[in-house]
Amino acid sequence: MKSKVQVRSFVVMLNLIILSTWSGIGSGQDKPDKVDCDIHAGPCRAAIKGTEVSLEISPKPVKAMQDLTFTVSFAGEKPGANPYIDLGMPGMNMGRNR
């Protein structure tokens, strides 16, 4: 159960990254794809408006209360705004953490 909560929070985080860069990316589809991935197995990817966004978290397996490295990559058009990672957890308001 704990692992599922962690994976969901990372999927939410990837969606936030995608939405934060959405307004500045060129033409293409209008909404981001739903992200459904296993962050423990490899990077999570989503496509929006001609750009693929990839989020890699290491070391693996991803664990709470451990130093982590987040790598965000873009393939295709570059985002119009600087991307950021906003860490959060479902059901727990932690305030902004960028």
What per-residue confidence (pLDDT) applies to 12? 57
In a domain, 48, yes or no: yes
In a domain, 95, yes or no: no
Count structural domains, the chain. Answer: 1
In a domain, 93, yes or no: no
Please tell me the pTM assigned to this model. 0.58
What per-residue confidence (pLDDT) applies to 91? 79
Question: Which is nearest to 15 in space by CA: 45, 57, 60, 49?
Answer: 45
Q: What are phi and psi of 85, to 5 degrees?
A: -110, 125
pLDDT tens per residue across all 98 residues of the chain: 454 545 555 555 665 565 555 444 444 445 555 667 898 899 998 887 788 889 999 999 988 889 999 999 999 888 888 888 887 777 777 777 66
- Strands 44-48 and 69-76, how do they pair? unpaired
In a domain, 86, yes or no: no
In a domain, 64, yes or no: yes
Containing domain of residue 38, as a range?
A: 2-76
